Amino acid sequence: MVNLDFGTILVDWRMLAKGVAWTLRLTTASATGGLALGIGCAWARIHGPVWLKAVTGAYVELFRNTPFIVQLFFIFFGLPAAGFRLSPETASILAMVVNLGAYATEIIRAGIEATPRGQVEAALSLALSPVQTFFHVVLPPALRKIWPALVSQIIIVMLGSSVCGQISTEELSFAANLIQSRNFRAFEAFIVAALIYLALSIVLRRLLNWLGPRFLFGD
């Protein structure tokens, strides 16, 4: 009979807590950065000059059609060869930001395009500048419409951050790996990690659903 021993894992709760802290830090940084990048690129894809549309289009397609782990390895192992040396943490955040940014661009663009033209014309006729119109009239309702999709994508990126342990960023899966390498209780270590990720994804969804309407697009 299989005997499982979760005690030996939970004894190392400090390492797990540190892992969770890093996972949350990576997620917060990439959600903020990815959202900003997504808004910028969505604007560029709709209103930008032709060359900018082409560049952002290529960026979006390139990052949505390649695996995150390859993007991470390219940034962490490939870029130093071209003269950019990054710490594991910086490389992780950078990879997560550009990855989320690509998905956020398409999601936000869909929201913006669903805004009726009449609203933009009304705003412009009130002598709002194009920039004011974008930030006060177009963006808030667009974000409200696509917020559930964006929240799902942020959670996917949070779960994807488990890959960052492969370049020795000390997030949750790295902690689980470290614990199992010391006591050989691999199955238990990853069960505990999986349950923590599950809890994080449930809590994060609740939190973002609460935060969005209050701070991003005021209801």
Partner 1 sequence: MVEFTLWDILRNLLLAARWTVGLSLIAFIGGGLVGFALLIARLTPSQGAHRLVGLYIQLFQGTPLLIQLFLAYFGLALFGIQTSAWTAATLALTAYTSAFLSEIWFGCVASVPRGQWEAARSLALTFGEQLRHVILPQALNIAIPPTVGFLVQVIKGTALASVIGFVELTKAGGMITNATFRPFTVYAAVALIYFALCYPISLTARALERTLHAAHR
Q: Which residues bind partner 1 (CB under 8 A)?
A: 2, 61-62, 64-71, 73-74, 77-82, 159-160, 162-163, 166, 173, 176, 180, 186-187, 190-191, 193-194, 197-198, 201-202
User: Can you tell me which residue has the tokens 């490389």?
Assistant: 91
Nearer to partner 1, 137 or 155 (CB): 155
- Tokens read off for 147: 């917020």
3-state secondary structure of 13: helix
Q: Which is nearer to partner 1, 105 or 133 (CB)?
A: 105
Nearest distance from C-beta of residue 180 to partner 1, angstroms: 8
CA 67 remoteness from chain centre: 14
CB 217 → partner 1: shortest distance, Å? 25
Instruction: Enter the tokens of residue 79.
Output: 């870029």
Q: Which is nearer to partner 1, 29 or 156 (CB)?
A: 156
- Least Å distance between CB 136 and partner 1? 31
Our CB check for partner 1 shows the closer of 58 and 126 to be 58
Dist. CA 106–CA 112, nearest whole Å? 10
Burial 20-41 (b: 16+ CB within 10 A, else e): bebbbbbbebbbebbbebbbbb
